[in-house]
Amino acid sequence: MSKKNFLFTSESVSEGHPDKVSDRISDAVVDAFLAADPFSRVAVETLTTTNLIVLAGEVRGPASVNAALMEDIARHAVKDIGYEQDGFHWKNAQVQVHVHQQSADIAVGVDSAGDKDEGAGDQGIMFGYACNETPVLMPAPIYYAHEILKSLAEARHSGAQPLLGPDSKSQVTLEYRDGKPVRATSVVVSTQHDASLSQADVREIVRPHVLDVLPEGWMCPEETFYVNPTGRFVIGGPDGDCGLTGRKIIVDTYGGAAPHGGGAFSGKDPTKVDRSAAYASRYLAKNVVGAGLADKCVIQLSYAIGVSKPLSVYVDTYGTGRVDEDKLSKVLQELMDLSPRGIRTHLALNKPIYARTSAYGHFGRNPDADGGFSWEKLDLVDQLKRAF
């Protein structure tokens, strides 16, 4: 029997966190390739440290997206985040590009040919999850952790809080009673700041953002509201810690409230099922919960490199389901072709829509008019209701 009363914690990191700077650059490169050729193949990783940016990986796409353009893309991403600091500056940082052509051995297994459909770009397992704890059908701890940092970032970019820096982290612990979140027991926020601000100053800058995000009456006790608990956070970003693409996969997904397959998303084009199948499984799980068929739903998909159809489709509603799970699995596979090509077609993923996913979570976002976050749509709800 699952626990009903417990504490659960999730964390988020801002767009200026070193790993998120790396994710942003890698996804901006993906967007550049897809804008030039929607069928480009991209797997690009980024390392960031003190005034150094290194891109490495393999691609297959138009020659117009060359090393010089990738350097410009990296500098623009860093500038947009807001880094103009001595230790990490969009204009002064050294940028190295070590990107080469995709392996022919991988390409032959993935490409379609004759009667062979396009295969998965790698083996692996991917999970999608949804629950009815928040309006966007995301777990509450990660949802509020993201929203606090988004609020601080908006204040920084607007000029309302010019003394805050780009690098920040949050952590929210919620108390659950009878399986439902009821209040925060602790909130942690660490944010980079100008040297002129004291810890007390930063605390009062952060406080209204937390109060605005949390539901009324949910604020934690004063003694468990931790802001910059080390006392000082002036040196931050890649100057403080090395950043790498794909190192914040739990922040990117469900904050630990659901399983994770282990594959990162950023820097990969949508033929990579690490990314596209994780989006598809979230899409299906969200529509199951959105249709009222369950309060919680996790879906696992598994693939083999070069094979088009998933090896398994697993559905678990944690005892909250109102329909048979085996039938639900079959219906979901009838409503959506879960081959790599089928996922990309259904969700229209061959578009330059990925840089925007690189911070504040890939899930729980509003679908954009240009196709961004298409996996957050609830357009299967009516079909699922009819099927049951």
Is 272 annotated in a binding site? The answer is: yes
What is the distance between the alpha carbons of residues 181 and 37, in angstroms, rounded to a whole number?
A: 45
Both structure tokens of 28: 């901006």
Is 19 annotated in a binding site? The answer is: yes
124-132+273-387 shares the fold of 6-12+140-237: yes
* pLDDT given for residue 84 in this prediction: 96
User: Considering the chain, what percentage of its residues have pLDDT values greater than 90?
Assistant: 92
Nearest CA-CA partner of 57 in 69, 68, 47: 47
Is 325 annotated in a binding site? The answer is: no
Tokens 């990107």 correspond to 99
The full set of domain ranges for the chain reads 6-12+140-237, 124-132+273-387
DSSP for 62-87, written as a single string: -TTS-HHHHHHHHHHHHHHHT-EETT
Is 26 annotated in a binding site? The answer is: no
Is 167 annotated in a binding site? The answer is: yes
What is the distance between the alpha carbons of residues 154 and 91, in angstroms, rounded to a whole number?
A: 23
Residue 388: other Cβ atoms inside 10 A: 13
B/e letters for 77-100, b = 16+ CB within 10 Å, e = fewer, are bbeebbbebebbebeebebebebe
Q: Is the pLDDT of residue 116 over 50?
A: no
Residue 231 buriedness (CB in 10 A; 0-12 / 13-18 / 19+) = exposed
Is 280 annotated in a binding site? The answer is: no
Is 365 annotated in a binding site? The answer is: no
Residue 333 buriedness (CB in 10 A; 0-12 / 13-18 / 19+) = middle
Among 99-103, 136-140, 156-160, the minimum mean pLDDT is found in 99-103
Residue 327 Cα distances to 131, 307, 337, 386, angstroms: 20, 24, 16, 13
Is 329 annotated in a binding site? The answer is: no
Q: Is the pLDDT of residue 200 over 90?
A: yes
Higher model confidence: residue 112 or residue 248?
Answer: 248
Is 153 annotated in a binding site? The answer is: no
Q: Is the pLDDT of residue 201 over 60?
A: yes
Is 248 annotated in a binding site? The answer is: yes
Q: Is the pLDDT of residue 109 over 90?
A: no
Q: For 4-41, what is each residue's pLDDT tens digit?
A: 999 999 999 999 999 999 999 999 999 999 999 999 99
Extract the runs of DSSP E, i.e. beta strands, from 194-344. Answer: 225-227, 243-244, 296-303, 312-316
Is 45 annotated in a binding site? The answer is: yes
* pLDDT given for residue 152 in this prediction: 98
Is 27 annotated in a binding site? The answer is: no
Q: For 287-330, what is each residue's pLDDT tens digit?
A: 999 999 999 999 999 999 888 899 999 999 999 999 999 999 99
- Does CATH place domain 124-132+273-387 in 3.30.300.10? yes
Is 102 annotated in a binding site? The answer is: yes
* pLDDT given for residue 117 in this prediction: 58
Is 233 annotated in a binding site? The answer is: yes
pTM for the structure as a whole: 0.95
Domain 6-12+140-237, CATH class in plain words = alpha beta
